[in-house]
């Protein structure tokens, strides 16, 4: 190497690294996913099996809606994989875990207690400490059932340095094989366990994240895929969601009633990557429209970034907001009509609450 070439290489090394451009489509996907989570929980009472006898049309509508939003949590996990599987995660695991794992601890400790107190308040009963402690050990709570996600994501944070190290040395093909192998093994384990015991397997605070490792790696792989034919993921999504709807209806009086709604099952594993890719396509179409209409793209990005950063707070808060409006408006959660009324109200109010809390020092640590 000539002196000139050496000097050029040295200067290049000394140049400051350019900040990585934000993947705004992931912010858009996160917003879509949290809206889907709110929809799932707003219609959850309407999907209860006893609704089939008292209001079959409303029950069928609720089941159909639920079938088309079952990608919500897997897409959250895929977004995390797309963002967190990096060389930095394994090259400096202590910094990564301090930033990610320790950051989630306040929420993981506080929110189960907050929900336990809230449930005791609205039911006029004392806090059930034994159920609360058992919830911590299982990583799943009676009050605030969505809080299992805190243990799920905390477990994935702990695994991220190891997954990132493998992603650094593995070829793209090897990563695809690993992702699909893990997902196949996961759904086989989940299915066999359910069919043999007639109940879905129980996870605890240590194992909550393990069934989602395949989704996590898949998100890392899908982030760089450019969709040329939008109708392919769209077709997979529609057909897969319709199949979920069909098999749930067919198994309504068996132990498999809720099985096909579960995230580690084959059909949900089929529609979730399709939903992820559809989110990319939809975001690109929106950007094209904004550009064509000469609307400020920077303002659009500012809005979705703001909403995305508050989405974790929406996830944590929305069940309390749901309870509040059910009580205030005296709504029947078993009615699909009332459930549909709740969806926009709970979504908007939860976001406003989360955005407000993010402005409060110290308290904002609970939803960041």
Report the pLDDT value the prediction gives residue 237, as an integer from 0 to 100.
98
Q: Which of 100, 109, 148 is nearest to 264 (CA)?
A: 148
Report the pLDDT value the prediction gives residue 252, as an integer from 0 to 100.
86
Contacts of 364 (CB under 8 A, 6+ apart): 357, 358
Report the pLDDT value the prediction gives residue 253, as an integer from 0 to 100.
85
CA distance 39 to 72: 10
CA distance 223 to 218: 9
User: What is the block-wise mean pLDDT of the chain (368 residues), using blocks of 10 residues?
Assistant: 46 44 94 97 86 81 96 98 95 92 92 94 91 90 90 95 96 96 96 92 91 97 91 97 95 89 96 97 95 92 97 97 95 91 97 97 91
**DSSP code at position 142:** S
Report the pLDDT value the prediction gives residue 20, as an integer from 0 to 100.
60
Q: Which two tokens stand for residue 111?
A: 């929110």
Q: Which of 237, 244, 226, 225 is nearest to 275 (CA)?
A: 237
Q: Is 299 helix (H, G, I), strand (E, B) or coil?
A: helix
Q: Is 9 helix (H, G, I), strand (E, B) or coil?
A: helix
């Amino acid at each position: 190497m000539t002196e000139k070439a050496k000097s050029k290489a040295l200067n290049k090394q000394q140049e400051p690294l350019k900040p990585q451009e934000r993947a705004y489509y992931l912010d858009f996907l996160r917003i879509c996913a949290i809206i889907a989570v709110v929809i799932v929980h707003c219609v959850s009472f309407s999907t209860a099996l006893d609704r089939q006898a008292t209001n079959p049309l409303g029950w069928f509508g609720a089941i159909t809606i639920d079938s088309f939003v079952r990608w919500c949590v897997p897409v959250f996990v895929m977004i995390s994989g797309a963002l967190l599987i990096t060389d930095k995660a394994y090259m400096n695991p202590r910094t990564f875990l301090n930033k990610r794992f320790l950051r989630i601890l306040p929420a993981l400790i506080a929110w189960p207690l907050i929900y336990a107190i809230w449930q005791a308040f609205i039911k006029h009963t004392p806090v059930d400490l034994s159920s609360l402690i058992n919830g911590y050990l299982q990583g799943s709570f009676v009050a605030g059932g969505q809080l299992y996600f805190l243990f799920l994501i905390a477990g994935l944070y702990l695994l991220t340095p190891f997954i990132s190290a493998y992603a650094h040395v593995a070829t793209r093909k090897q990563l695809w094989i690993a992702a699909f192998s893990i997902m196949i093994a996961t759904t086989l384990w989940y299915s066999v366990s359910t069919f043999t015991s007639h109940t879905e397997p129980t996870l605890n605070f240590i194992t909550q994240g393990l069934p989602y490792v395949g989704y996590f790696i898949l998100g890392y792989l899908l982030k760089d895929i450019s969709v040329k034919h939008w109708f392919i993921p769209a077709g997979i999504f529609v057909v897969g969601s319709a199949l979920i709807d069909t098999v749930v209806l067919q198994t309504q009086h068996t132990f498999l009633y809720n099985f096909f709604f579960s995230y580690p099952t084959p059909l949900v594993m089929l529609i979730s990557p399709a939903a992820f890719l559809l989110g990319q396509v939809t975001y690109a179409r929106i950007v094209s429209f904004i550009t064509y209409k000469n609307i400020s793209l920077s303002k659009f990005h500012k809005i979705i970034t703001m909403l995305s950063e508050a989405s974790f707070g929406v996830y944590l808060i929305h069940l309390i907001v749901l309870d509040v409006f059910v009580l205030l408006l005296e709504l029947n959660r078993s009615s699909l009509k009332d459930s549909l009324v709740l969806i926009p109200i709970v979504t908007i109010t939860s976001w406003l609450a989360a955005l407000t809390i993010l402005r409060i020092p110290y308290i904002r640590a609970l939803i960041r």
